[in-house]
Amino acid sequence: MMHQYSRRNFIKYSSKNLLTLGILSYFSIPAGITTLHAHKESLVSDLKNKDQLTILNDRPINAETPPHLLDDSITPTSRHFVRNNGLVPDLNVADQKNWTLKINGNVNNPKTYTIKELKKQFEVVTKVLQLECGGNGRAFFDPPATGNQWTYGAISCSEWTGVRLSDVLSASNIKSNSIYTGHYSADIHLSGDLEKDVISRGIPISKALDRDNIIAFAMNGSDLPLIHGYPLRLICPGWPGSTSQKWLTRIEILDHIHDGMKMTGKSYKVPKKPIAPGTILENKDLKIIESMPIKSLITYPKNGKDNTSLNMKVRGHAWAGDKKVSQVNISIDYGATWMKTSLAAPVNSHAWQDWNILIDFPGEGYFEIWARATDEENISQPFSISWNSKGYLNNSVHRIYTNIKI
């Protein structure tokens, strides 16, 4: 585990990121995007609007945002990471007018709504909500974990507009023995097999009734882009992004834990008991990830930026799944001493919290700046990774470096 914090490795990762960023800012659309259906033009224009994201994969499309581009309090659409398990559906299918959402299963009152009916029958709300991929930070696992090698940038906090999931579920009168939801969508399995679900995740009813979950039709004041789930998606803030089903068509209420695609295997699960790095467990020894853990990100300055003064403004965001962040501390001496930052309240529950600090450096030299957040239950970010084979929940402290040269 110490391996992760060797300076050589740290610099290796930093320079790799910078290189990738450089290349991608030149080629803002990844070459060779191929899709099964005739929606290429719209998809490419969605990606063209992505500002300097690092493309990890192009089929399915997965891209993350470098930390310094996540500086805004509300993540602009152009800088929102992209996570797909399958292929984006055809725009002819993803039609706002004819789109319907079904609520069925263990309910007394199954329903089918058009988007217009959702807007008319339920209160429309707008909330700023954090959304993080369960595998954010996977790239730093040792031994390496499988999957897209997300570094820091599979996190966002955009403004979502829609109706409350809890209101919609209440209107269907859920039976009292219900314990879980199952989410279904219109994306297409990579094999092209239309019978197969790409991904179908769910959440416990207790989480589903939280008033911050949104069935969203707009993002940052505009219709959802196709790549983010147009025309309808779920946002279940604070839980792994995979629970926030894009291209949402149906929510089934269940009297058992959902057994949909990527619920029953090893995906989005972590060991029940602590394990030695490298240990591969059987499914029965894994548990489903629920709330994401406490984490923070330094979004200014950009990693590696030189500073010509002994003072430096440092800022970023912190979030804690379903919980609130109580403090964020900064160290410039490898964790020997810490300084408390000024931390803002979230604009609404489940929004990330901005923090900032003015650092006085003792003199010239190479410094690492570490950020460490603590949640309201006094749980702080760890310095090392609690290893699991799929590379989930790396919430270890974020580090950047700077050279102070006056």
Partner 1 sequence: MLKIITILTIYLTISSSSLHAENKSIDSKNKILLKEKCSSCHSLKIIYQQRLSKSRWEEIILSMHKHGMTKLTKSDYINIIKYLSKHYNQ
The interface with partner 1 within residues 31-50 (CB under 8 A) comprises 32
Minimum CB distance to partner 1, residue 192 (Å) = 8
Among 6, 98, 177, 191, binds partner 1 (CB under 8 A): 191
Q: Where are the alpha helices (DSSP H) in 65-204?
A: 115-121, 165-171
Q: Which residues contact 215 (CB under 8 A, 6 or more apart)?
A: 101, 118, 162, 163, 164, 165, 168, 232, 233, 234, 248
> Which amino acid is it at 323?
K
Question: Helix (H, G, I), strand (E, B), or coil: what is residue 403?
Answer: strand
CB closer to partner 1, 194 vs 336: 194
Minimum CB distance to partner 1, residue 193 (Å) = 6
The interface with partner 1 within residues 311-350 (CB under 8 A) comprises none
Minimum CB distance to partner 1, residue 403 (Å) = 30
Stretch that binds partner 1, among 169-177, 186-194, 232-240, 379-387 (CB under 8 A): 186-194
Minimum CB distance to partner 1, residue 367 (Å) = 30
CB closer to partner 1, 143 vs 363: 143
Among 40, 196, 256, 340, binds partner 1 (CB under 8 A): 196
At which residue do the structure tokens 């929102």 appear?
80
Between CA 103 and CA 167 the distance in angstroms is 12
| Integer CA distances (angstroms), 187 to 190, 243, 264, in order | 9, 14, 20
CB closer to partner 1, 6 vs 146: 146
For partner 1 (CB under 8 A), the number of binding residues is 20
CB 229 within 8 A of CB 247: yes
Minimum CB distance to partner 1, residue 284 (Å) = 17
Between CA 53 and CA 331 the distance in angstroms is 28
Q: Is the peptide bond before 301 cis (omega within 30 degrees of 0)?
A: yes
CB 8 within 8 A of CB 391: no
> Which amino acid is it at 127?
K
CB closer to partner 1, 60 vs 66: 60
Longest dimension (CA), the chain: 71
Rounded to the nearest 10°, the torsion over CA 318, 321, 327, 332 is -50
Minimum CB distance to partner 1, residue 132 (Å) = 19
CB closer to partner 1, 60 vs 182: 60
| Integer CA distances (angstroms), 5 to 10, 35, 238, 385, 396, in order | 6, 39, 27, 11, 11
The interface with partner 1 within residues 124-163 (CB under 8 A) comprises 143-144, 146-149
Stretch that binds partner 1, among 191-199, 228-236, 374-382, 392-400 (CB under 8 A): 191-199
CB closer to partner 1, 13 vs 401: 13
CB 237 within 8 A of CB 346: no
CB atoms closer than 10 angstroms to residue 75: 25
CB closer to partner 1, 182 vs 391: 391
Minimum CB distance to partner 1, residue 30 (Å) = 9
Among 37, 119, 189, 302, binds partner 1 (CB under 8 A): 189
The interface with partner 1 within residues 254-293 (CB under 8 A) comprises 280
The interface with partner 1 within residues 50-79 (CB under 8 A) comprises 55-60
Q: Tell me the two tokens of residue 271.
A: 């060991």
> Which amino acid is it at 275?
I
Stretch that binds partner 1, among 75-83, 107-115, 188-196, 243-251 (CB under 8 A): 188-196
Sites of contact with partner 1 (CB under 8 A): 32, 55-60, 143-144, 146-149, 189-193, 196, 280
